[in-house]
Amino acid sequence: MPNRSLLEIVHSELILTPLLCLGRQAAINHQTFMQFFVKPNPFLKLLSFRVIIVLAYQIMAIVVGWHIYELTHDTLALGLVGLAEVVPYFCCALFAGYAVDHHSRRMFGVFACLMLFLTALTLTAVAAGWIGGNPALWIYGSIAFTGVARAFIGPSYSAMFALVLQREHYARASGIGSAVFQFGLVVGPAIGGILVGWAGKTAAYGVAAGLCLVAAVALLSLRVEEPPAAASAPIFTSIAEGLRFVFSNQIILGAQSLDMFAVLFGGAVSMLPAFIHDIFHYGPEGLGILRAAPAVGAVVTGLVLARHPINLHAGRWLLTAVAGFGFCMIFFAISTNFWVAGLALILSGVCDGVSVVMRTTIMQLATPDAMRGRVSAINGIFIGSSNELGAFESGIAARLMGLAPSVVFGGVMTLTVVAATAKLAPKLRRLELHQLH
């Protein structure tokens, strides 16, 4: 990696990324411009892989949600999409972390891209009517493969993140990485909604398939010297070592548990197709707007934290951000105006952006290099799978309580989780980031 600070990279090379569209202004000289095209920075390539694969996944997610609700008009069916993904994710995540720690981090990321490519192709065939039978069952089966692919993406990215950056840059890089990730969450749903409205579900799934291949190429172009594989150990012994590390570390365990339960109870995104159909009376374009709204707030937050990283009172910031997320979910649930609901979701993204950056920084600083794959996989089970379990929980709650009351209930439960975490994890509550260096 060239001997330059991360801030210089942000001010020069990253300005050429799509983040420019969000208003990040900086001057670049001719030498930096040529360097971008001739020899891009490894961190930039890693971010390119991340944003492209997020775009592909989000397009598929938005189209699948619309597709399923169009077929069933059932909120529980929307929740079952999350369940179909999380079961294989749970089954594969720990083994994926072990594989990344003991073999090539980069190639397992490429493998995940190809898995998502095959999923998108299958969904394209279903939407086009090329496959007979019950289309909902084919959709659920395809989403199961998405769960397998996601099990490898997080550990691969986390392990390569530490390979292309110096330790003192982790806090700023986490902010940049969060902004890039959230940029994908903004643009992906918007593209998915527009494609469904203008060109149909088949075209939308086809675009997602193409993006999966582009992400694989971006990762294959990344040239990074991977460390020797970790000492060979029985697979279950190695996985148990990672579990012991996480569960014996109050700070990591507290941060992961906080986000897991907050997302499990506080997420309303999976129910957006129902809100669009039944409350706001918009089409798929409206679904894309609301699905992207939280990420708009998170992108801005990520950019601000990349420039001004939080070092003091990190634990308090994390707890406050998750509490704010809970309040935003309640605000969204009681809104009956489309644009007011969008504002509530933007504010929820601001809170979520702070939470993501803080949690990512804590995990990167507190994890030994040899265990990054396994710890990231465990983090994925805590955090990533909670989105899908949260979708399932939201579907059941909406069936039992009604749509808006179920989201209010989730927001109240999020606030309860914050209070419990503050009480049970005092080390996290009092955390200062310099304690982890």
Whole-angstrom Cα distance, residue 288 to residue 283?
9
| pLDDT (0 to 100) of residue 18 | 39
**DSSP 8-state secondary structure symbol assigned to residue 232:** P
| pLDDT (0 to 100) of residue 214 | 93
- Contacts (Cβ under 8 Å, ≥6 apart) of 157: 46, 49, 50, 109, 376
- pLDDT at residue 376 above 90? no
**Structural contact between residues 205 and 63, judged by C-beta atoms closer than 8 angstroms:** yes
Range in 166-170, 279-283, 284-288, 413-417 the model is least confident about: 166-170
Structure tokens at 104: 């090539």
| pLDDT (0 to 100) of residue 254 | 85
pLDDT band of residue 251 (cuts 50, 70, 90) is confident
| pLDDT (0 to 100) of residue 232 | 59
Region(s) of the chain under CATH 1.20.1250.20: 40-224, 234-436
**What CATH class is the domain 40-224?**
mainly alpha
Helix, strand, coil shares of the chain as percentages rounded to 5?
Answer: 85, 0, 15
- Contacts (Cβ under 8 Å, ≥6 apart) of 278: 403
pLDDT band of residue 389 (cuts 50, 70, 90) is low
Task: Based on DSSP, count helices (H) and strands (E) in the chain, helices before strands.
Answer: 18, 0
- Contacts (Cβ under 8 Å, ≥6 apart) of 378: 93, 94, 97, 242, 243, 246, 256
Average pLDDT over residues 222-234: 66
**Structural contact between residues 295 and 183, judged by C-beta atoms closer than 8 angstroms:** yes
| pLDDT (0 to 100) of residue 31 | 43
- 234-436: CATH number: 1.20.1250.20
Range in 45-59, 262-276, 344-358, 415-429 the model is least confident about: 262-276
CA end-to-end span of the chain: 21
Average pLDDT over residues 234-244: 80
Range in 24-33, 391-400, 404-413 the model is least confident about: 24-33
pLDDT band of residue 36 (cuts 50, 70, 90) is very low
